[in-house]
Chains A and B, each alone.
Chain A
Amino acid sequence: MYQGIRISGFGGQGVISAGVLLAYTGIIENKNVSFFPSYGAEMRGGTANCSVVIASDEVDTPIVSSPDTVIVLNEPSLAKFEPMVKPGGILIVNTSLIKTEPKRKDIKVIKVPCNEIADKLGNAKVMNMVALGVFAKATGALAIESIGKALPKVYKKLKPEVIELNIKALNEGAKLA
């Protein structure tokens, strides 16, 4: 089993947090994982992206050049990462912020209004969890429950009610996959 993922969006949308969470979830499921962020002149409001690999075999490079799944959370990310998706792969598009139609016909496109769903749940910050819920269900690479288990381990300062809300967002996302 090999799943190469790219997540991309504005700095502040939880792109890096989502990637770290996926990697930790892979560890919980006894898989080999790697996480690699874009780094350097990154800032809130700028663009940020990360690569995650979850595999049963050894991971050769943490830099994912042709991802099985791409999650794009803002407009510039769609332009940059849509062409990279492996043929037959999955593109998860946050339609709350992306109005452009994806062009590729050889991949599966899943459109989800992540921000609206997060707003309905009462906290805009959990929009990245909605996207991860879609990812987990659509790919079957990781169990939603495992992501829930990883949450308090990665973010030790989160209050139980906030973790609860994040898990709710994951489940909402899963429904839309």
Chain B
Amino acid sequence: MAEKQLMKGNEALSEGAVRAGCRFFAGYPITPQNEVPEYMSWRLPQVGGAFIQSESEVAAINVIYGAAATGVRSMTSSSSPGISLKQEGISYCAGADLPFLIANVMRGGPGLGNIAGAQGDYFQSTRGGGHGDYRLYVMAPNCVQEMFDFPKRCYETAYKYRIPSMILADGTLGQMMEGVEIKWPEIDVKTIEKPKWSLGINTERRERRMVGSYDLRDGMLEKMVLERVKRYKEIEEKEVLWEEKMTEDAEIILVAYGISSRVAFAGCKMAREKGIKAGLLRPITLWPFPKKRLAELAPKTKNFLAVEMSLGQMVEDVRLAVNGATNVNLFARPGGSPIFAEEVYKAIEDIVKKGAKEYATVK
């Protein structure tokens, strides 16, 4: 095993994307994701790629629309307020079935909020975010290693199903440094097959190709959307990812994603030391959400506890999956404030020992 490299989350994300074949980046600066465009600005020219700092977030996402239409693996990144600005373009990309990678290194919100890590963009990321019926494939890393590894999976899924993909991280993951092991070989972009739908300059005559998000003919848009829904169904069947720890005998299962999942797991370990059987289910993909697995676990689990750095957003997906079969509780910390293991343990203890039925802590 090669020695691990010490990498910052934002840099690992950028290098991971380049090694996964990213050759085009457009973005606009915002804390806490500034290292991404900074890294891409020197790294992409090294591999024959292109970097654009656009005049705004709106411009960046529309430039990406164009780049993705040519079939080149492209990427944009921002943080919460900037991602809000990109929503119109993301909806257009989804409508045009364009695959690319968006990274959201979340910060405190709403509005300008603050620059601390937070998870308040869960609804926005998993419900589409912009207008119309669409989804994004959303992956939530919980360590710098996964910041490095996930862009590859995002591109693979995005291209396979023609869907925009998102890495939903937060300021903590973006700014922290950890050891990273480089476990997979860099993708040679020459070996990536050009998609059959992609546009570009052609030397030979071929059938006309169209990339667009609309069809004004009677009933045709519905057909377009329903064709897309078939792909969404397939993604829900085949591409859902999650991780479980100590759930086999758990009387309480914590559900948490991203950086919160690590703290939640530490809370579970503290509970186990005190004789409380706590376990963790970590959604790795937020859409599709591991709802089938939660539904399976629900009848044999007394309590669920959603742990999130937002005001009770992911908990709604847990409740939908559990569908009233058992209690779903919430530990929420909004506004960019960090969660600590001791507080999570306290919530577990209150629920299990005091038998709170509808426990909701907003600390």
Contact = CB atoms under 8 A, between A and B. Distances in A.
A154 B172 CA distance: 22
A36 B31 contact: no
B32 interface: yes
Interface in B230-273: 259, 262-263, 265-266
Interface in A21-75: 23-24, 27-28, 32-37, 39-40, 58-63, 65
Nearest to B34: A39
A5 to B, nearest CB: 14
Interface string B164-186: 00000001100111110000000
Interface in A1-28: 20, 23-24, 27-28
Contacts of A24: 6
B176 A27 contact: no
Interface in B127-179: 171-172, 175-179
Interface stretch (B63-71, B287-295, B313-321, B338-346): B338-346
A154 B259 CA distance: 26
Q: Give the size category of B's interface with A.
A: 20 to 34
B179 A63 contact: no
Nearest to B264: A60
B175 A37 contact: yes
Contacts of A35: 6, 176-178
Contacts of B6: 20, 23-24, 27, 33, 35, 154
A32 B144 CA distance: 12
B340 A61 contact: yes
Contact of A39 (B4, B175, B265, B340): B175
B3 interface: yes
A66 B307 CA distance: 21
B263 A60 contact: yes
Contact of B176 (A28, A60, A62): A62
A132 to B, nearest CB: 16
Main secondary structure of the interface of B (DSSP, over half): mixed
Contact of A27 (B3, B31, B115): B3
Contact of A33 (B115, B179, B266, B341): B179
Nearest to B174: A39
B231 to A, nearest CB: 36
A61 B266 contact: yes
B266 A27 contact: no
B32 A39 contact: yes
Contacts of A65: 338, 340
A92 to B, nearest CB: 22
A36 B179 contact: no
Nearest to A62: B176
Contact of B115 (A20, A40, A61, A63): A40
A62 B3 CA distance: 21
Interface of B: 3-4, 6, 31-32, 115, 171-172, 175-179, 259, 262-263, 265-266, 338-341
8 pairs of A and B residues whose beta carbons are closest in the complex: A60-B266, A35-B177, A62-B176, A36-B176, A40-B115, A60-B262, A63-B338, A24-B6
8 contacts: A20-B6, A27-B4, A39-B115, A39-B171, A59-B262, A60-B263, A61-B266, A62-B176
